[in-house]
């Protein structure tokens, strides 16, 4: 069993829709949760970085962590065609564990105009 | 923001040749750099961890003699794929960190070995 599971999609939505992207994990020690966006043929870029349970909002993006369920979500409001990309979750048990944080396989999102 | 560059962005080479990929942190000093490879429609697979002035730490299953890593300074790490073969064709991505969980990724290098 993988440490991090992520539905690969693909997910296709119309412009303006609310998008929900999810990951589940098995290691209860994970406390730091990251969401990355990766455009085709590009490196990932960090979108959201959260610690422990709760919500974090940044513009149209909201990251949600439910540690009791070992489940994290990324919500995108008013989705735009420019949001079309692959979204990767990653998580870590330590604050200084970059690189060792396992990634999900990524969910490919297409927002149609 | 933190910017990481990679060079070249794309390389095509013949089987048996060696290819060097550079990763630079442009506006910050990176305590650690990481090298990943990514196959189509798959996630990032960590290959090795690189610290300035010390030997790289390779993940299980990654041949250190095939994937040579040199970390010359706090802003530059290089990955050399030696005696490349078609199965080495992939997207190679580096990242850099200043010590926390946040990684800043380069744009990637697409290697095609004929």
Q: Which residues of A touch B41 (CB under 8 A)?
A: 8, 108
State how far residue A111 is from chain B, nearest Cα, in angstroms: 18
Tell me which residues of chain A have a pLDDT lower than 70.
96-97
Q: Report the alpha-carbon distance of residue B35 to residue B44 in Å, rounded.
A: 9
Q: Report the alpha-carbon distance of residue B111 to residue B17 in Å, rounded.
A: 12
**Residue B52 confidence (pLDDT):** 82
Tell me which residues of chain B have a pLDDT lower than 70.
1
Tell me what percent of the residues of chain B surpass a pLDDT of 70. Answer: 99
**Residue B72 confidence (pLDDT):** 83
Q: Does B42 contact A98 at a Cβ distance shorter than 8 Å?
A: no
- The answer to whether A11 touches A111, Cβ cutoff 8 Å, is no
State how far residue B2 is from chain A, nearest Cα, in angstroms: 11
**Residue B1 confidence (pLDDT):** 67
A58 contacts chain B (CB < 8 A)? no
**Residue A66 confidence (pLDDT):** 94
Q: How far is CA A104 from the centre of its chain?
A: 8
């Amino acid at each position: 069993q993988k440490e991090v599971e992520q539905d690969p999609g693909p997910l296709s939505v119309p412009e303006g829709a609310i998008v929900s992207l999810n990951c589940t994990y098995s290691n209860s020690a994970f406390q730091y949760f990251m969401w990355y966006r990766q455009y085709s043929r590009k490196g990932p870029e960090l979108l959201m970085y959260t610690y422990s349970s709760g919500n974090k909002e940044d513009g149209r993006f909201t990251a949600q962590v439910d540690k009791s369920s070992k489940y994290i979500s990324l919500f995108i409001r008013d989705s735009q065609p420019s949001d079309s990309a692959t979204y990767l979750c990653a998580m870590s048990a330590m604050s200084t564990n970059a690189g060792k944080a396992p990634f999900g396989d990524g969910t490919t999102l297409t927002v149609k105009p | 923001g933190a910017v990481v560059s990679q060079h070249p962005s794309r390389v095509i080479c013949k089987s048996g040749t060696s290819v060097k990929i550079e990763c630079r942190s442009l506006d910050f000093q990176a305590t650690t750099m990481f090298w990943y490879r990514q196959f189509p429609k798959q996630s990032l697979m960590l290959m090795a961890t690189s610290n300035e002035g010390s030997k790289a730490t390779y993940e299980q299953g990654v041949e250190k003699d095939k994937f040579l890593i040199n970390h010359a300074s706090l802003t530059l790490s290089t990955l050399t794929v030696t005696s490349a073969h078609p199965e080495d064709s992939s997207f190679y991505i580096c990242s850099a960190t200043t010590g926390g969980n946040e990684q800043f990724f380069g744009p990637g290098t697409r290697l095609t070995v004929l």
